[in-house]
Structure 1
Amino acid sequence: MKALLLKDFYTLIKQIKIFIIMIIIFAAIPGYSIAGFAMVYAAMLPITALAYDERSKWNSLALMMPYSDESMVGSKYVLGYIAAATVALFSIAVQIVMSLIKNTPFEMEQVLSVILIACIATIIQAINLPLMFKFGVEKGRLAFFALIVAVTCGVMVLGDRFLVSLSASYVNVVTAFVATVIFTLVVNLISIAISIKIYKKRE
């Protein structure tokens, strides 16, 4: 899998240097909304890698190489995890430096917020990648956008009711954080299993 990750890394660093620089700049800007955008975009880098693989007919070439289906699929997930984690750590480091410069306390809640955003980024990746393996990058993007529209409509309809029920239940912040991390792990494990199954059928 290390060789596959290096292949994707060299492809991305060569083709989209400007976008990687933009991710770093966004991660360095104070404020979680901008850092969140950087993390989500970083988690989408595997999609770009898949697009280059399709364009270069890499999958056909990979069939002649000693790579397992699990490695081929897993490398894309790991690439997204590494990218999102790197941006998250960079964002936390920037927040710490800014706190030292401004002589203001750095609270643990800031770290938890960044981790939660990273969880959201990997959940989006977990939803996205099976669609890409199933339909290809171009059609997969259309399916993903359709899913996002459906989810957004659902949130708009049910969001207020959910917030009312959440505020009424007095959910502990730490409990909610742990539940989110566990949910993220479960979603990603299911997503990896689905993607591997889809990839094997494509062969």
Structure 2
Amino acid sequence: RGYLEGRKMASAFNMLRSNDLIWPYFIANYMKGKEPSPFDLLYWNSDATRMPAANHAFYLRNCYLKNRLSTGEMEVAGETLDLGKVKAPIYNLATREDHIAPPRSVFYGSSFFGGKVTFVLSGSGHIAGVINPPSRDKYQYWTGPAPRGDRYDEWAEKAKEHPGSWWPHWQHWIEARNKTRVKPPKMGGGKFKPIEDAPGSYVRVKS
């Protein structure tokens, strides 16, 4: 086909946590005949994106098998990527129960950048830990000293827990660097005219 079907990639990720993401639904839906409850995040997550075969192969080969990004050997369009040259301040977020980007790996990845990195750990997992607006007053997050190498356990011991969403902390971090605010662009302005009313028919198309 020339691409990896989105559902196959989603299934692979679900298998990493089958006790949470596969079997409960199998038991409730198939064995007990219960209809799944509406859940906006899971509905959004079920609409996985297809990935071109060349992109998928390049990503796995360079970022996983040979780990070239961390060693400064990965090339894209003839340019070598060197994370050490990234001097801009970085807000690096991990989630405590993430099975795709484990917090220990995200923490270690912070050490490859050349600038100052602020590492923050959010409660919950890969999706709910990130999409956690303050209005819901759910979960918590942790802040601590600057990340150093692979000393995640040491960081976690010293980290301070805060209740609720990490979003306000991120906002304060941004405003400490630039308080300038700009108005959002007018929808449909310029040379690109609206095709149809929001949310658009394309968001209802599933891969």
So what's the TM-score if we normalise by structure 1? 0.24
Structure having the higher strand fraction is: 2
Structure having the higher helix fraction is: 1
**More RCO (CA 8 Å, sep 6+):** 1
Higher gyration radius (CA): 2
So what's the TM-score if we normalise by structure 2? 0.23
